[in-house]
Amino acid sequence: MIRKVLVANRGEIAVRIMRSCREMGIRTVAVYSEADRASMHVRYADQAFYIGPAPSTESYLNIDKIIEVAKQSGADAIHPGYGFLSEKAEFSDRCKREGIIFIGPDSHAIKMMGDKITARKTMIAAGVPVVPGTVDAVKDEADALKIIEEIGVPVMIKATAGGGGKGMRLVKDAKDVISSLRMAQSEARNAFGDDSVYIEKYIESPHHIEFQILADKHGNTVHLFERECSVQRRHQKVIEETPSPLLTPEIRNEMGRHAVAAAKACGYYGAGTIEFIVDDNLNYYFLEMNTRLQVEHPITERVVGVDLVKEMIGIANGFELPFRQEDLKQSGHAIECRIYAEDPDNNFMPSPGKIQHITEPLGLGVRHDGYVYEGYTIPIYYDPMISKLIVWAKTREEAINRMSRALHEYKITGVKTSIRFLAKIMESQDFISGKYNTHFIEKNHDFLMAEPECDGQCEDIALIAAFLEHTQKLNKVSTNGVDKKAVSRWKDIRHHSSI
């Protein structure tokens, strides 16, 4: 039985994992870098240990140090969260060797799914549809031409070791094949030290839809339905919702069955996500599997009524899943917005800095997974995500209205955030109608980036506030006591009655 968990992560996900641990009566251990002494996960945990300098390669990715802390603190398990060490097969193996439970899959499954060609072959063997294209890496230029002739343009050339859009080339015209191939290879060689590439059919207006799965060590695997993740910017998810407005009940069942088959094909246990690409005609293809907890997992938790972190811990303990597929139902609608410290008006430039003020949204149907607080300085070294705002309502329409309301309540000053940009998305016709794909942000760019309408009155009101603030400041400096009006009457009463 797991009694103490070390969370090998930081920020909101570390806090989120510790919350479930606390509910389960499990003690928590935080690790932190030099930049994170004041971070909420350190304050929230029962124990906290320094593990190294700010750059993650010297702290949150330092396996030796993290294992050492786990032993020193007496943690019997490690939860890796997402990012950092969560999909490093080597880390899963190392935990096992050291006699520490890794709350996640074994290295075999991580390796299989980490290599795109192996993953693809495994899926084909399991009968899961994959995007038409090559099974093996492209041998030479003649080979590439032959393949493209077979599947037809447009195609995508991708690095086998790829990720983050590097080593990727879209070919729309057959005459560009050779030059695109060479560019993709050279980019792949520079980025990953491996120039092998493969070719896939390019899906024109793709939807990105993923299925959550849970599998125990006794051969039980279930899916917890889908998450629609098509609102993306530069391959980064911005908004997720479930259920997907695109899927029909039949396709949902079919995809769910394939998601379970995909997980079984690699002998998976733990929580995982099968990503599919879906075209307008509801043809769907396996894209990849994420062998960890996803950022956007809360919308599934809200709609299915399952705490995924608790289930992960249960699975790691060797328990059987407490439910079967037929016990799981989707109820209502959930949406998540990712709040980033970035400046939408300035090409989404990162905006680290000190939080001067934060008012978190509250009220019916709102969940807010964050970690920043007033006076906290967001470090420059890590991901710019501040928090995830999740709402639930009985219907999709109500959920959208609720998200708009929650975003309106959400105030952060000190750093620039994507809050207003997200609010615009909630107002856009394409999002409201549910008819959108991964080109959504590009297509709605003008609407989303439009200067807010103002009749000059807003500007004048801002000027009045500036005047009042500045005179207030001048009065304070000249210490002539004009500030009296701002003093609360309650303080006077307290003085009088000597409370």
Partner 1 sequence: MEISIDGRIANVQELARNGNYITMMVDGDVYEVDALRVSEGIYSIIYKGRSYNIEMIADTSARHYTVNSWYNSYKVEVIDAQTRYRMSREKGSHTDEGKIIVSPMPGKVVKLLVKEGDTVEAGQTLIIISAMKMESEFKAKVPGVVKHIAVNEGDTVDANKELITIE
Question: Which of 26/407 has CB closer to partner 1?
Answer: 407
Query: Which helix (H) or strand (E) segment is 428 a member of?
Result: none
Distances, alpha carbon 416 to alpha carbons 301, 407, 420, 423, in Å: 29, 14, 10, 14
Question: What is the token pair recorded at 349?
Answer: 């430039």
Q: With contacts defined by CB under 8 A, how many residues of the chain interact with partner 1?
A: 43
Contacts of 61 (CB under 8 A, 6+ apart): 84, 85
**Shortest distance in whole angstroms from residue 427 CB to partner 1:** 12
Question: What is the token pair recorded at 317?
Answer: 């303990």
The residue with tokens 């889908």 is 226
Choose one: 68-76, 178-186, 376-384, 390-398; the region binding partner 1 (CB under 8 A).
Answer: 376-384
Question: Which of 346/498 has CB closer to partner 1?
Answer: 346
Distances, alpha carbon 240 to alpha carbons 3, 97, 208, 300, 372, in Å: 33, 37, 10, 10, 22
Question: Which of 105/384 has CB closer to partner 1?
Answer: 384
Of 20, 46, 19, the C-alpha closest to 31 is 46
Choose one: 8-16, 122-130, 364-372, 380-388; the region binding partner 1 (CB under 8 A).
Answer: 380-388
- In the set 43, 466, 492, 493, which binds partner 1 (CB under 8 A)? 466
Could you please report the per-residue DSSP string of 293-354?
--TTHHHHHHHHT--HHHHHHHHHTTPPPS--GGG----SEEEEEEEESEEGGGTTEE--EE
- In the set 255, 383, 426, 440, which binds partner 1 (CB under 8 A)? 383
- In the set 38, 362, 364, 464, which binds partner 1 (CB under 8 A)? 464
On whether the CB atoms of residues 359 and 410 are closer than 8 A, the answer is yes
Question: What is the token pair recorded at 365?
Answer: 């149907």
Residue list 296-335, contact with partner 1 (CB under 8 A): none
Choose one: 6-14, 139-147, 425-433, 457-465; the region binding partner 1 (CB under 8 A).
Answer: 457-465
Question: Which of 71/470 has CB closer to partner 1?
Answer: 470
For the beta sheet containing 27-33, the strands, ordered from the edge strand earlier in sequence to the opposite edge, are 47-52, 27-33, 4-7, 77-79, 101-102
- In the set 129, 154, 332, 352, which binds partner 1 (CB under 8 A)? 352
Question: Which of 11/298 has CB closer to partner 1?
Answer: 11
**Shortest distance in whole angstroms from residue 345 CB to partner 1:** 8
- In the set 135, 364, 449, 463, which binds partner 1 (CB under 8 A)? 463
**CA–CA separation, 221 and 321 (whole Å):** 8
**CA–CA separation, 481 and 403 (whole Å):** 44
292 tagged catalytic? yes
Query: Judged by CB under 8 A, does residue 449 bind partner 1?
Result: no
Query: Judged by CB under 8 A, does residue 465 bind partner 1?
Result: yes
Binding map of partner 1 across residues 468-487, x = CB under 8 A, - = no contact: xxxxxx-----------xx-
- In the set 351, 418, 437, 444, which binds partner 1 (CB under 8 A)? 351
Classify strands 385-393 and 366-370 as parallel, antiparallel or unpaired. antiparallel
Choose one: 127-135, 223-231, 321-329, 381-389; the region binding partner 1 (CB under 8 A).
Answer: 381-389
**Shortest distance in whole angstroms from residue 25 CB to partner 1:** 35
Question: What is the token pair recorded at 437?
Answer: 């794909």
Could you please report the per-residue DSSP string of 23-34?
HTT-EEEEEEEG
- In the set 320, 458, 492, 493, which binds partner 1 (CB under 8 A)? 458
Each as own residue / partner, the long-range contacts of residues 428-434 (CB below 8 Å, 24 or more positions apart, any chain) are 431/231, 431/239, 431/400, 432/397, 432/400, 434/245, 434/246, 434/396
Query: Judged by CB under 8 A, does residue 350 bind partner 1?
Result: yes
Q: Give me the catalytic one of 169, 292, 402, 405.
A: 292
Question: Which of 142/465 has CB closer to partner 1?
Answer: 465
Choose one: 3-11, 141-149, 343-351, 389-397; the region binding partner 1 (CB under 8 A).
Answer: 343-351
**Shortest distance in whole angstroms from residue 256 CB to partner 1:** 33
Query: Judged by CB under 8 A, does residue 235 bind partner 1?
Result: no
On whether the CB atoms of residues 276 and 209 are closer than 8 A, the answer is yes
Query: Judged by CB under 8 A, does residue 467 bind partner 1?
Result: yes
Binding map of partner 1 across residues 384-423, x = CB under 8 A, - = no contact: x-----------------------x--x-xx-----x---
Classify strands 207-215 and 221-233 as parallel, antiparallel or unpaired. antiparallel
CA angle 204, 207, 213 (to 5 degrees): 140
Question: Which of 9/73 has CB closer to partner 1?
Answer: 9
Q: What is the DSSP letter of 45?
A: S
Please measure the distance between the N-terminal and C-terminal CA atoms of the chain and give it in whole angstroms: 52
216: amino acid identity, one letter: D
Choose one: 99-107, 254-262, 345-353, 426-434; the region binding partner 1 (CB under 8 A).
Answer: 345-353
Choose one: 165-173, 258-266, 378-386, 491-499; the region binding partner 1 (CB under 8 A).
Answer: 378-386
Query: Judged by CB under 8 A, does residue 353 bind partner 1?
Result: yes
**CA–CA separation, 167 and 160 (whole Å):** 9
On whether the CB atoms of residues 408 and 415 are closer than 8 A, the answer is no
Distances, alpha carbon 458 to alpha carbons 34, 345, 418, 427, in Å: 43, 19, 21, 21
**Shortest distance in whole angstroms from residue 456 CB to partner 1:** 9
What residue ranges bind partner 1 (CB under 8 A)? Answer: 341, 343, 345-346, 349-353, 356-357, 380-384, 408, 411, 413-414, 420, 452-454, 457-473, 485-486
Active-site residues: which are they? Answer: 292
